[in-house]
Structure 1
């Protein structure tokens, strides 16, 4: 009997799973394989929140495969070494994997291809598994990638995504050793509000979102207190849901809300195609603005206050506390706190990106790093010197202060608009709050940034 390996990476699902489908077409038996990669651990990318969510994902994927007569084979070590071991043990003649865009994924694919060649085993890397469109599918006439979202999105809409695949009816797995997936209970340091991971939970959440949330998404997705976003980003990051399937299902719903949601999926593709073309942008400025980021003891104290949600600006602090508790943050809040760090405090965007990667369940290099650069003005933003004022943002997107009161309990009893400016409360009411004064004057911070940029 012929054997192929379906190597799972960021595509932990059985629905619309091109890697698994291709492996099943290529051989009589398939080894569904996931490798807990030592390299990812050494690089620091397996933060506790993502590790716990991943454990749920692996358990759910294993359950989905067992429903079809198969199982998930899990190994620990270097991916290339472990894949080659499975190939030797089973006599597999093909390995199928989703194409990646990060420098790490591309290097892993190159090493794997070289090693498998020596074993007379072919490697097939499949596009449109992690994203709706492959990174290189839509390109401008004058270059290798689009650097501005709007023209990219026009072409993205014209291109159209592939058809979604159904889940396979059966998966025949040869006899091969593999560890059972770890459960979340074995992971320490997890934020208390991290949701359940895995394809089953993802599909349940998606069904509920399409039934009752997507219609109003266009009008309400920036509403901080309303929490009207899909919260599907962690499931997209781990591939528990297919971006292709989401585009199709949202399109069938139709309407302004569905259009706005699909636009966000296109933003995700946009960032992947930027990183695929410029892998160094994961830690280097996509567009160097000549910044000499602020350093020193005062900046260090302000940055630490930002991390802890103690800046004295309630909407900023609410967002940072949400991140610490849930491993997730509302998208509008992400833009706000990133602008505050990089422009009002004039701290290096990499400091913020690293903190986010330490906590976000959906923290991947393409979206996290390039969104941080967008906010810092070193990325693809066409208005790189815009500064988001947290007070203006709070009045617009949390007008009643409900989001602030939810996450900053010190201010739960502050009435009206004063919740966004507690430093203006009269004494002794202000002193009784146990809430810090602002770490920076907004006008002074904005002026410092604009002077540094020469704007």
Structure 2
């Protein structure tokens, strides 16, 4: 066995990369391959922010490979056809690939295996590359997946993590394998002005800084909107520039309540991945239907546009939506609030919000995004599907002085203290001086509409 192909997908790193390690152990030469899959573009998932971050990741991966004597081979087109073409050009015996969970990824694996086997090439699919625990590793006796997080987390926590792998010292790529230029973010339009840089080098720097000075305060501070005590590692997990297995090992080595709370969030990510692996249709269909009669883009167009623009009249919701547009990222507490407001207070179909998030989020992940939206819409795995988050109460709790709102809603910058969360209550002249809209809907009216729709008047709004 002389040549192997490693197909990189959402695992754009050199550290702790089982497919690359296996390929290097079994072959004299390796072709590190990335295919710019036209099916992703055709399906509308090639959002500008993610394309820019992806370009950073591929550039960094290529540089890392060149430092080790290799290079990244980039092709465009149908992923199966391009992998087969490269395997034939390199006279490769094997192709290595990381397992993934979406319906498309599962179909891609089936197509690849069939096409490669027809050419006498073996396909090896590796687990625990994009997940800390493989989606099929833990399951209840009566089902193929856990539908509730708490019992899942109990099993997940007891699972023995594999050891992490170091980055290779040498990668030899066969001569004569043609490549397109590595993509660049230059020339891309529609990017968020505050979009972060991508790549494994950047991800590892951010991880080191987080472990050094952020993780200890995570348990107490992760919901603080202005303090922003989150790791901001989600884009690197989405593109695989950081290994979830390595994150768990290093967090547990750091120890303490903050580390435990952070590891729990990694488990939430794996939880959603095992749900989607078992129920791929949950990316677009209710996981647990409530037979909702959602307002649609046609029937609620003005409300939806105000929500997208951050002009709902509820400052904390608007601040979070503007952060999303500016950074291509949103604080997790903001994600919960804006999703609850759209689905429960405005009673708009969760798919409308999920699609908008995927248009902008640099960490726009099919499992996490869709299933978190379903969780807030009450059609997913939440054991309290009718909870409603009150944006004013939540704002006073997680942005008590209003600093987060004033950062993102400059129209309210002169409103001092917690009064910024209820500008409609300001004295007449003070209110009139603000270029800021009145609330789209009274919270009590929105709650009543939702209860009528769900026919569950006995459920009270969560604080």
What pairs up with 1:207-356 in 2 under 5 angstroms? 207-295=208-296, 299-356=300-357
Q: Out of 156-165 and 363-372, give the one that drifted further.
A: 156-165
Question: TM-score with structure 1 length normalisation?
Answer: 0.99
| Deviation string, structure 1 residues 253-272 (Cα, Å, up to 9, x no partner) | 00000000000000000000
Instruction: Give runs of aligned pairs for residues 407-446 of structure 1, distance below 5 A.
Output: 407-446=408-447
Q: Which residue of 2 aligns with 1:105?
A: 105
Once the two structures are superposed, the pairs formed by residues 25-424 of structure 1 within 5 Å of their partners are 25-175=25-175, 176-295=177-296, 299-424=300-425
Distance in 2 between the 1:15 and 1:95 partners? 19
**Alignment RMSD:** 0.9
CA distance in 1, matches of 2:402, 2:201: 35
Q: Deviations over 1:308-351 (max 9, x none)?
A: 00000000000000000000000011001000000000000000
What SS does the corresponding residue of 1:125 show, helix, strand or coil? Answer: strand
Counterpart-to-counterpart distance in 1, 2:141 and 2:360? 39
What is the CA-CA distance between 1:296 and the residue it aligns to?
A: 7.4
* Preserved CA contact (<8 Å) 2:195 2:327: yes
1:433 shift after superposition: 1.1
For residues 262 and 297 of structure 1, the distance between their equivalents in structure 2, rounded to whole angstroms, comes to: 41
Cα distance in 2 for partners of 1:93, 1:294 equals 53
Comparing 444-453 and 236-245, the one that deviates more: 444-453
Deviation of the 1:160 alpha carbon: 2.2
- CA distance in 1 between counterparts of 2:21 and 2:183 reads 25
CA shift for structure 1 position 2: 0.9
Encode CA deviations 1:268-327: one digit per residue, 9 max, x unaligned. 000000000000000000000110102476621111100000000000000000000000
Q: 1:442 to 1:98 in 2, by over 3 A?
A: same
Describe the SS at the equivalent of 1:414: coil
State how 1:14-29 maps to structure 2 within 5 Å. Answer: 14-29=14-29
Secondary structure at the residue paired with 1:428?
Answer: helix
Unmatched segments (≥5 aa) in structure 2? 457-463
The superposition leaves residues 160-205 of structure 1 with CA deviations (integer Å, 9 ceiling, x where unpaired) of 2111101011001001111121111131111111100000000000
Number of equivalences: 455
Q: 2:82 & 2:192 partners in 1: Cα distance?
A: 31
CA deviation string 1:50-93 (max 9, x = no partner): 00000000000001111111110000111011101101111001
**CA-CA distance at 1:428 after TM superposition:** 2.2
Q: CA deviation at 1:22?
A: 1.1
Which secondary structure state, in structure 1, belongs to the residue aligned with residue 383 of structure 2?
Answer: coil
CA distance in 2 between partners of 1:437 and 1:160 (Å)? 53
Deviation track 1:200-253 (CA, whole Å, cap 9, x = no partner) reads: 000000000000000000000000010000000000000000000000000100
Point out the more displaced range, 206-215 or 421-430. 421-430
Q: Secondary structure at the match of 1:75?
A: strand
Give, in angstroms, the shift of residue 426 of structure 1.
1.7
| Distance in structure 1 (CA, Å) of the matches to 2:443 and 2:23 | 56
Task: Output the TM-score relative to the length of structure 2.
Answer: 0.97
Q: Structure 1 CA distance, aligned partners of 2:118 and 2:432? A: 71
Inter-partner Cα distance in structure 1 for 2:345 and 2:286:
19
Give unpaired runs (5+ residues) of structure 1: none
